[in-house]
Amino acid sequence: MKNAKFILSMLTAFVLTFAVTLTAGAPVAVGCAAGFAVSALSVLGAMPTNALCMSMGMTNNEAVISRILPKLWDKGYVPQGSKPKVTQGYICSLFNLQGSFNTINFNILVNQGTVRATENRLNIVDMFTVTHWGLFLMKAGASTTATDAEIAVAQPQTFENPGIFTAANEAANLGSIYRGNIQVKVDNDVIVDSYDTARFRRVGEAQQALNVSTAATLNSYFRSEQQGPNYGFSEVDPEITFNGVGKNEVVLNLPANLSMAGTTSTNFLVLVCRGLLWQNSSKLNRS
């Protein structure tokens, strides 16, 4: 009886909020009202999460946009009330591991340092909100100065595979990457204090160079397995928005200062961020 009364009160609140915001022509507020009703009802098991949003024709991406856009207004990233063009996008940043490191800083913007073959950096005219990200190891080329052509065909790895990183202590030292944490700052504002990197590590059953037969040929896997499009990625609450004209700091803190270098190859650490690209939305575009 109590649950029934609570559900009725939540529905009444939603209907009133919906009516007011719809009359005012505020689609973002309508989306928030819908999300509020869904959250309340899903907690009680009365309605599946996102069911109401979907019944109103709102996709998951639209729900995220409706949630994030008011925060961009509040932070002054975009003018109050504006609705920038937003599309799916990604950022890929490589860090050369040919040395010993205690901290690693990733370049996010296209005008930072040299952009290598597989990188996809953020243009200074845009902004980017992260919804998923992954951290991958990569061995490229046959020397310690890999070319862009060699980087282009190198395979990202989801763990420190000793069948690939074969030099003494190479795999063990690279494994420390998945025992660190990432901190994210935008314009000196701490967005993520410490995100543990163990969330990115995936060790599948099929591992490159793992022996599976005693036969003279075809006795090992040539590639490690990859299950689905988000394999190796971790979902992050979409509060990270990089600004094309802002100060974007993504720092990986490691537990020890260890050598990560390859001896007959170039080792890289690859950060890939997936999410929403806000086109032509940085402060650079404002008159």
Q: What is the pLDDT of residue 213?
A: 55
Task: Establish if 75 belongs to a structural domain.
Answer: no
Does residue 51 sit in the same domain as residue 168? no
Three-class secondary structure assignment of 181-194 = EEEEEECCEEEEEE
Query: Are 93 and 229 contained in the same domain?
Result: yes
More confident: 286 or 230? 230
* pLDDT higher than 60, residue 117: yes
**Which pLDDT value is given to residue 44?**
41
Q: What is the pLDDT of residues 138-170, one digit of tens each?
A: 999 999 999 999 999 998 999 898 888 989 999
What backbone torsions phi and psi does residue 152 show, to the nearest 5 degrees?
Answer: -60, -30
Residue at 65 is within a domain: no
Residue 207: the pLDDT is 46
Three-class DSSP labels, the chain = CHHHHHHHHHHHHHHHHHHHHHHHCCHHHHHHHHHHHHHHHHHCCCCCCCHHHHHCCCCHHHHHHHHHHHHHHHCCCCCCCCCCCEEEEEEEEEEECCCEEEEEEECCECCCCCCCCCCECECCCCEEEEEEEEEEEEEECCCCCCCHHHHHHCCCECCCCCCCCCCCCHHHHHHHHHHCEEEEEECCEEEEEEEEHHHHCCCCCCCCCCECCCCCCCCECCCCCCCCCCCCEEECCCCCEEECCCCEEEEEEEEEEEECCCCCCEEEEEEEEEEEEECCCCHHHCC
Domain membership of residue 189 (yes or no) is yes
Q: Are residues 177 and 217 in the same domain?
A: yes
Asked if residue 254 and residue 164 are part of one domain, the reply reads yes
Distance CA 274, CA 91 (A): 7
Which residues are CB-contacts of 33 (< 8 A; sequence separation ≥ 6)?
14, 17, 18, 21
Question: In whole angstroms, how far apart are CA 142 and each of 61, 204, 223?
Answer: 42, 26, 18
Over residues 257-264, the mean pLDDT reads 92
Verify that 252 and 162 share a domain, yes or no: yes
From the list 189, 203, 178, 202, the residue with the least C-alpha distance to 253 is: 178
- What mean pLDDT is reported for the chain? 79
- For residues 139 and 266, the answer to whether their CB atoms sit within 8 Å is yes
For residue 259, the model assigns a pLDDT of 94
Residues 130 and 49 in one domain: no
Give the pLDDT confidence score for residue 75 in this predicted structure: 83
- The Cα 21–Cα 17 span in angstroms is 6
pLDDT at residue 41 greater than cutoff 90: no
pLDDT of residue 1: 52
Same domain, 223 and 179: yes
pLDDT digits (tens, 9 = 90+) for 189-208: 999 999 999 999 877 554 45
Share of the chain above pLDDT 70, in %: 69
Q: Is residue 211 part of a domain?
A: yes
Does residue 67 form part of some domain? Answer: no
Ranking 11-20, 93-102, 244-253 by mean pLDDT, the lowest is 11-20
* Residue 189 main-chain phi, psi, to 5 deg: -95, 120
pLDDT value at position 223? 46
pLDDT at 276: 94
| Rg of the chain in Å (alpha carbons) | 23
Tokens 């803190």, located at residue: 253
pLDDT at 255: 95
151 shares a domain with 206: yes
Identify the pLDDT of residue 46. Answer: 44
Range of the domain at 251: 86-285
Residues 50 and 106 in one domain: no
pLDDT above 70 for 225: no
94 to 61, 109, 114, 137, 219: CA distances (angstroms)? 27, 12, 10, 10, 32
126 within some domain: yes
- Look at 234 and 35; give whichever has higher pLDDT: 234
pLDDT score recorded for residue 218: 61
For residue 73, is it within any domain? no
User: What is the mean pLDDT of the segment spanning 260-271?
Assistant: 94
Q: Mind listing the pLDDT tens digit for each residue in 227-246? A: 667 767 889 987 899 999 98
In DSSP terms, which residues pair with 105 in a beta bridge? 251
Judge if 155 and 270 occupy the same domain. Answer: yes
The residue with greater pLDDT, 83 or 40, is 83
Q: Of 42, 58, 74, at which residue does a domain stop? A: 58
How many distinct structural domains can be found in the chain?
Answer: 2
Q: Do residues 241 and 163 both lie within one domain? A: yes
Task: Give domain status of residue 192, yes or no.
Answer: yes
The rounded distance, in Å, linking the Cα atoms of 246 and 187 is 6
pLDDT at residue 38 greater than cutoff 70: no
CA distances from 114 to 91, 138, 172, 210 (A): 15, 18, 29, 35
pLDDT of residue 212: 54
Residues 36 and 90 in one domain: no
